[in-house]
Amino acid sequence: MGSLMDLRAPFRRANINRESLSLQALQRLWEASGLPQEALAHVSLPGCDPVLPSSFAVGAAAQASLASAALAAAELWHLRGRERQHVTVEMLHAAQECRGFFSINGVTPSSWDKISGLYPCGDGGWVRIHANFAHHRDGALALLGCPVGEGTTREAVTQALQRWKALEFEQVAADAGLVVAAMRSFDQWDAHPQAQALAQQPLVSIERIGEADPRPLPVFTAEARPLSDIRVLDLTRIIAGPVAGRTLAAYGADVMLVNSPHLPNIDNIIETSQGKLSVHADLDTADGRITLAGLLRSAHIFVQGYRPGALEGLGFGPEQAAQLRPGIVYVSLSAYGPQGPWAGRRGFDSLVQTGTGFNWAEAEAAGQVQPKPLPMQILDYASGFLMAFGAQAALARQATEGGSWHVQVSLARTAQWLRSLGRIPDGLDCPMPAVQPLLQTSASGFGTLSAVPHAAQFSVTPAGWSRPSVPPGSDRAVWPFR
């Protein structure tokens, strides 16, 4: 199961119009959202795949998803009484933003724990273990009978997995609450019940979940940007959700990152916290829940990346949030979607790539036996941009129609969308471009930060972050007053 030892099928070379691919994808997203078609005349999408080494249209996915968020911001600007402005998103810049490259004080943090990665199993299949959090790493090591802690080697894990079949280890790990995925081909994934459940779900679900009067968008003040005075609660931690909040901040929103003082974070929080306030609230305590409820009562958007159903037990599920704050736009991120047998399963971009067929397909295109990942965590970044897009589309509908709204995005559904964009026959021949020419340096609460600026360019209101990234808990849990 999942072995690449017999590369049976030649790589199918799809014929696609690369120049129009991103625009076509954007048009489909826009039409599904119900936003005015006139806005599409005010966007430019220069560039075409390949821009990064991949047989998939990762550049188009980055560009179209990011452009959807940026154009939605421009439409909110228009809805707030201004003439439409033009939005430009250059493909290479968008793709480079999706690589998530950054350095702090001249040092580039490591992206992965040494145990994270793909391993062959005893049946010829492969599994990917995600071990960036110590409790996930130690849980996987204990399951394999390896010593827990930082001292265990990849060789020990490889040897231990020879006693396992790939699918069996995936299931046992999932039952234990760990994050592991068995590698599948596209055909194998398409036959899976979760893939079939996902096929019935929209890429960006925007659903009315409650009644509320239309709430006029805040009146513009001097030097306003499209989302000025829009308040966003960001209860996310791992890349996709934080990218959504960071994107809304780039368009002028007041984004407040709410972190538990007891949960670990990864180094990416340094880069994805740009533009955000950062507060602590322990939702396992009454005080933490009271703090969050107080913030929610004057928020416009609530973004969360908990597993489906997890926040309901704390009193902050979508319907509960709509009762506390009628007219709220509630945005949910999941790994595998809100319905289906894997709805509650944990997952990250790299695991979803493995489980849904991309590592197999990319290796097949390269003619190699070793599974091959995509050149960046495009499922995370595209999902984050799509969350920001859906949030703004729902906010526009709330302002004109009323109601409370629930936006849902999943990494696995984004993966299906990436597949639908087709393949790039010569994509793997593209060299990895240098990111250094795009980097901008700024002061942050962590030190001197060098990172890729936001790729969307607006003709009137430049995108960017007016607040530096700061460590969790640096700010008071109070909305800024203007």
Per-domain residue ranges for the chain?
63-109+195-341+374-458
Contact between 70 and 251 (Cβ < 8 Å)? yes
Where does residue 162 rank: exposed (0-12), middle (13-18), buried (19+ CB within 10 A)? exposed
Indicate the pLDDT class of residue 289, thresholds 50, 70 and 90. very high
Give the closest residue to 174 by CA, choosing from 182, 186, 185.
182
Amino acid residing at 192? H
Give the closest residue to 157 by CA, choosing from 131, 124, 183.
131
Report, as an integer, the average pLDDT of 244-262.
96
Where does residue 86 rank: exposed (0-12), middle (13-18), buried (19+ CB within 10 A)? middle
63-109+195-341+374-458, CATH topology level: Rossmann fold (3.40.50)
- Residue 225, SS3? coil
| Count of CB atoms situated within 10 Å of the CB of 174 | 17
Among 221-230, 302-311, 362-371, the range of highest mean pLDDT: 362-371
Mean pLDDT of the chain: 93
Report, as an integer, the average pLDDT of 312-319.
95
Beta bridge partners of 235: 304
E strand segments, 174-300: 180-182, 205-210, 231-235, 254-259, 276-280
Inform me whether the pLDDT recorded for 399 exceeds 90.
yes
What is d(CA 273, CA 276) in angstroms, rounded to the nearest whole number? 6
Sheet holding 447-451, edge to edge: 102-104, 447-451, 440-444
End-to-end CA distance of the chain: 59
Inform me whether the pLDDT recorded for 63 exceeds 50.
yes
Inform me whether the pLDDT recorded for 178 exceeds 50.
yes
DSSP 8-state class, residue 147: P
Distances (CA, A) of 473 to 170, 256, 262, 270, 277: 36, 10, 11, 13, 9
Indicate the pLDDT class of residue 238, thresholds 50, 70 and 90. confident
pTM of the full structure: 0.95
Report, as an integer, the average pLDDT of 458-472.
96
| Each residue's pLDDT tens digit, 87-116 | 999 999 999 999 999 999 999 988 778 899
Contact between 235 and 266 (Cβ < 8 Å)? no
Where does residue 155 rank: exposed (0-12), middle (13-18), buried (19+ CB within 10 A)? exposed
**Percentage of residues in the chain with pLDDT exceeding 90?**
85
